[in-house]
Each structure stands twice: as structure tokens, then as C-alpha cells.
């Protein structure tokens, strides 16, 4: 991996009296799509939130050579674009305005008053996320899959050097799952560090440069997909056997049977 953009050293997180993450250390570079995988309750979402400073943690996190704790909240919001699970929208705002909220870290407080630069960023996000056909509809009228794509567009509009996406394909049909992963892959190829939490090992194997495997709050495996998701790791961490192949020069890993 190239020079690290985001590093964590001996990162520990406790929620209440429960230790969730234990001594996590990692170095992640720009132009990479990193898949964060592990069983339910492994600490994946907590790690994603800790890297952005959204939950208290001990240890040290650096982004672009700067300690996370030294950055203002506005500066953190410019450096991390966070896509949480759920994509719940409570107000009937037009989709275009929802996406424009991605420019808030850059000083935009009114979606109706965008600078030319902000307008350009929003328009590009709309195009890349393929949501042009419903930008004028109220967000509350969208399906779950459509809301997921709008949420992705909002994240892209931030133009942050790091995108943190928590299960961005969970409510999508197969076609849009592939399109979302292609979009995130494209963001990584353009220079962004993308970290994706996913339970889909097939998508992780196909689209990721680097895989992090969490188990019981510990980083137990990392590396290229075929290495990090070895048969031994699949058995020890996920308690499954996998079918493994190659198709069109890309790795194929399919959960096959429990053990």
C-alpha cells in the first residue's frame, strides 16, 4: 500500500462498560477501496465511527498527517464523508436539497444558495450516483433503495478525501448493488480512500484492494482479498466454507456451507 492517508495506533473503544475494539492498528492509503468485514457484533460500525471521531476512543488516529483530536468538527466533516446505515429521511425535502447538504462542511447553510463550485459538486454527485430522474421529488416519497442512492450522492457531494460507508448495498437489488460498488470503486480510483462495511464477501472480493477482518473487536486478518479471506479465516472467523474461483480476471468468493 502507498503512503498512508489514515492511520490508527492501538485504538480502543468501550461503550458503557463493554470493550468493543481492542488495540486496532492500521495504515490505509488513498486510491484504495477497503472492505471491512466480520461477523455480526464484531465492531465494524464502531470502528468506522471511531475513525471519524464519532465515538470516544483511546489511542491515536491521524488523517493526512494531522492528529484527529487536533481538528475542529468542521474540518473533520470536510475530511470524512460518512454514510451510515438506514438512510431514514423525516422531512419531505426535495432530493436535490438533501444532496446539497453534503456541502454543509464547506459553509453552505442554504441549499437554495449554492456557489458555482458547490453547484458543480452537487451536479457531479447526482450524475455519478444516478439519481437525476428523481432529484425534484420529495425524499420521503422514495423507496428504500432510492434513498440509499440519494444518501450516497450526498456523501459524494462532500468531496472528502475519505468516504466511510456502512453497508451501502444492504437495501438494494443486485443491479444497484453492483452500481453502488462501481461508484465507490470509481471514487477510490479518482484518489479517495473508501472504507466499506459489508457482509457480502463476494462484493468485497471483487471490488476491494484491501480487506480488514474483525472478530470480537480485534483485527485478525488484513491484506488483499484472496489472502485476508483465506479458507482458514473463513473457517475460524465466519465458521463457513467458501467456493473460490476467478471470473474475468477477478476473484470470486461465495459462502457455501457452514461448519
Q: What is the pLDDT of residues 24-35, one digit of tens each?
A: 999 999 999 999
pLDDT of 116: 94
Q: Please give the pLDDT value at position 27.
A: 97
154 near 98, Cβ under 8 Å? yes
What are the residues facing 255 on neighbouring strands? 242
In terms of DSSP bridges, do strands 240-247 and 80-83 run parallel, antiparallel, or are they unpaired? unpaired
**What's the confidence (pLDDT) of residue 1?**
61
The pLDDT, as a whole number, for residue 172 is: 85
Max CA distance (Å), the chain:
57
- Report the run of H or E that residue 179 belongs to, with start and end: helix 174-189
Helix spans in 16-115 (H): 44-51, 73-79, 95-100
Q: Give the CATH number for residue 137.
A: 3.40.50.300
Q: What is the mean pLDDT for each group of 10 consecutive residues in the chain (259 residues)?
A: 89 94 97 97 97 95 96 95 83 92 91 91 95 93 88 96 95 88 96 97 96 97 95 96 92 93
Task: Give 122-140 pLDDT, tens digit per residue.
Answer: 999 999 999 999 999 999 9
* Residue 140: domain span: 4-258
Q: pTM (2 decimals)?
A: 0.94
Give the pairing type, strands 210-215 and 33-37.
parallel
Number of structural domains the chain divides into? 1
Amino acid at each position: 500500500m502507498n503512503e498512508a492517508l489514515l492511520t490508527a495506533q492501538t485504538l480502543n473503544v468501550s461503550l458503557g462498560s463493554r470493550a468493543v475494539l481492542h488495540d486496532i492498528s492500521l495504515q490505509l492509503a488513498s486510491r484504495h477501496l477497503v472492505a471491512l468485514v466480520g461477523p455480526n457484533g464484531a465492531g465494524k460500525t464502531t470502528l468506522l465511527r471511531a475513525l471519524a471521531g464519532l465515538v470516544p476512543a483511546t489511542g491515536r488516529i491521524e488523517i493526512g498527517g494531522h492528529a484527529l483530536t487536533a481538528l475542529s468538527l468542521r474540518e473533520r466533516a470536510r475530511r470524512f464523508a460518512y454514510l451510515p446505515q438506514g438512510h431514514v429521511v423525516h422531512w419531505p425535502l426535495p432530493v436535490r436539497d438533501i444532496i446539497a447538504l453534503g456541502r454543509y462542511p464547506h459553509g453552505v447553510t442554504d441549499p437554495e444558495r449554492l456557489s458555482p463550485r458547490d453547484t458543480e459538486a452537487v451536479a457531479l454527485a447526482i450524475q455519478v450516483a444516478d439519481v437525476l430522474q428523481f432529484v425534484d421529488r420529495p425524499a420521503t416519497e422514495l423507496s428504500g433503495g432510492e434513498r440509499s442512492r440519494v444518501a450516497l450522492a450526498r456523501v459524494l457531494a462532500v468531496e472528502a478525501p475519505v468516504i466511510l460507508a456502512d453497508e451501502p448495498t444492504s437495501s438494494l437489488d443486485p443491479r444497484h448493488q453492483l452500481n453502488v460498488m462501481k461508484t465507490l470503486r470509481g471514487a477510490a480510483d479518482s484518489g479517495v480512500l473508501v472504507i466499506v462495511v459489508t457482509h457480502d464477501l463476494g462484493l468485497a472480493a471483487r471490488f476491494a484492494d484491501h480487506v480488514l477482518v474483525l472478530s470480537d473487536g480485534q483485527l485478525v486478518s488484513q491484506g488483499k482479498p484472496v489472502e485476508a479471506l483465506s479458507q482458514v479465516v473463513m473457517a475460524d472467523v465466519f465458521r463457513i466454507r467458501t467456493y473460490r474461483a476467478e471470473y474475468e480476471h477477478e476473484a470470486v468468493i461465495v459462502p457455501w456451507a457452514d461448519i
